[in-house]
C-alpha cells in the first residue's frame, strides 16, 4: 500500500512518543470477523503527517527507546487533527534545520484516514520482521481526563500508555448504557474517544441512575474483547470519534459522516435517552 511506504525521515524533533503495538497478537478464533472489527474502527478518523504525495513521515528511534531496537522506524498517528496540525507548525518553526529537512517540511500536511485501515495494515504485517509500527497520540485533553477519572476511582496513575476510551455505566456493578440510534431505532453501546462526549451522556443517565459513572478503558482492551470474546452485546459496540473529528468529517465529507449516536455537530450528547 503506497500510503504506508516509509519515507525514512527522522522527525523526532518535538514531542514525546507513545508507542502502540495495538491490535497485534495471534488470536486463533475471532469473536467478530476481522471485517466487522475493521468496520467499527472505520468510524474513527485518525491523522498522519504526510508529504505532498500522501506518504506518511516516519522517524527513527534511538536504542532502547520505548523498548524498541535502535534504528526502528515509527509513524505517528494522531487522534486530533488540531494537534497534528500544531505539530506541523511547531516543526516548521524549529531553527537550524538542514536544507533537506527545510525543504521537506514545506510540503508536509495532515492526512486523515480511518483507524480501520491502520488496523488492517497491522494485522497483515504482524508476522513480518519489518512490521509496521505506529505511535498513537491521543488528544492531551482526553489523556488528562482519563487520568483524572482513574485517580478519582482511587487508582494511582502517573501516565496513560494507550488510547483512552470512555464508557458510561448505570453503576460500577451494572452494565453499559445503550442509546437509540434514531435512524433505524437500533440500540447501540457507545464507547467514546472523548471524555466530554461521555460526560454528556452521563449527565442524562444520572437523572434516573445517581450511581452512574464513566469507566476508562484502553483501546487495546476493546480490540482484544472484539477479537476474543463471544459475547452478543459486543455486536452493539460502536466507537464514537470526538466532536472535533465529527466536525472534520462533516466539513470535508458531508455525505459520509459516520452514523454514530453522537454525530450532531452542535451537541456532543447522543440524541436519544438511554435505556437499560
Query: Residue 145 and residue 155: Cα distance in Å, rounded?
Result: 14
Question: Where do the DSSP E strands lie in the chain?
Answer: 19-20, 45-50, 59-60, 73-78, 109-114, 134-137, 164-169, 179-181, 186-192, 213-218, 237-240
Query: Residue 43 and residue 246: Cα distance in Å, rounded?
Result: 10
What domains appear along the chain, each with residue ranges and CATH number?
2-137 (3.40.1350.100), 158-252 (3.40.1350)
As beta bridge partners, residue 74 has 59
pTM score, whole prediction: 0.76
Query: Residue 246 and residue 254: Cα distance in Å, rounded?
Result: 10
| Burial category of 183 from C-beta neighbours within 10 Å (exposed 0-12, middle 13-18, buried 19 and up) | exposed
Query: Residue 192 and residue 43: Cα distance in Å, rounded?
Result: 11
What cell was used for 234? 459486543
Q: How far is CA 208 from CA 144, 205, 212, 215, in A?
A: 28, 6, 9, 18
Residue-wise burial string across 138-160, b where 16 or more C-beta atoms lie within 10 A, e elsewhere: bbeebbebbbebbeeeeeeeeeb
Query: Residue 110 and residue 113: Cα distance in Å, rounded?
Result: 10
As beta bridge partners, residue 239 has 191
Do 167 and 261 form a contact (C-beta atoms < 8 A)? no
- Say which residues have a Cβ less than 8 Å from residue 124's Cβ, sequence separation at least 6: none
pLDDT of residue 61: 67
Q: Which of 16, 17, 112 is nearest to 56 (CA)?
A: 112
List per-residue pLDDT tens for the chain, 276 residues long: 222 222 222 222 222 223 332 333 333 344 688 889 999 999 999 999 998 888 888 877 665 544 445 556 789 999 999 999 999 998 888 877 777 778 888 889 999 999 999 998 888 888 777 777 888 999 889 999 999 999 998 888 888 888 999 999 999 988 899 988 656 777 889 999 999 999 999 999 999 999 999 999 999 899 988 988 878 888 889 999 999 999 988 888 755 544 444 333 333 333 333 444
Amino acid at each position: 500500500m503506497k500510503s504506508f511506504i516509509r519515507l525514512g525521515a527522522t522527525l523526532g524533533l518535538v514531542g514525546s512518543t507513545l508507542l502502540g503495538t495495538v491490535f497485534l497478537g495471534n488470536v486463533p478464533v475471532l469473536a467478530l470477523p476481522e471485517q466487522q472489527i475493521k468496520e467499527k474502527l472505520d468510524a474513527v478518523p485518525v491523522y498522519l503527517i504526510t508529504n505532498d504525495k500522501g506518504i506518511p513521515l516516519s522517524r527513527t528511534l534511538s536504542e532502547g527507546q520505548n523498548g524498541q531496537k535502535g534504528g526502528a522506524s515509527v509513524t505517528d498517528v494522531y487522534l486530533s487533527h488540531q494537534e497534528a496540525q500544531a505539530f506541523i507548525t511547531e516543526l516548521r518553526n524549529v531553527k537550524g534545520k538542514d536544507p533537506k529537512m527545510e525543504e521537506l517540511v514545506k510540503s508536509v500536511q495532515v492526512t486523515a484516514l480511518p483507524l480501520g485501515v491502520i488496523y488492517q495494515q497491522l494485522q497483515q504485517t504482524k508476522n513480518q520482521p519489518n512490521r509496521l509500527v505506529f505511535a498513537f497520540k491521543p488528544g492531551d485533553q482526553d489523556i488528562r481526563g482519563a487520568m483524572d477519572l482513574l485517580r478519582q476511582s482511587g487508582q494511582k496513575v502517573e501516565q496513560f500508555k494507550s488510547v483512552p476510551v470512555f464508557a458510561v455505566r448505570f453503576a460500577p456493578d451494572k452494565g453499559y448504557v445503550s442509546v437509540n440510534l434514531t435512524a433505524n431505532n437500533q440500540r447501540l453501546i457507545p464507547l467514546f474517544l472523548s471524555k466530554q462526549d461521555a460526560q454528556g451522556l452521563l449527565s442524562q443517565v444520572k437523572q434516573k441512575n445517581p450511581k452512574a459513572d464513566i469507566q476508562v478503558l484502553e483501546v487495546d482492551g476493546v480490540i482484544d474483547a472484539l477479537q476474543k470474546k463471544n459475547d452478543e452485546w459486543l455486536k452493539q459496540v460502536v466507537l464514537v470519534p470526538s466532536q472535533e473529528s465529527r466536525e472534520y468529517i462533516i466539513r470535508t465529507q458531508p455525505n459520509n459522516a459516520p452514523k454514530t449516536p453522537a454525530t450532531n455537530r452542535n451537541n456532543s450528547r447522543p440524541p436519544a435517552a438511554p435505556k437499560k
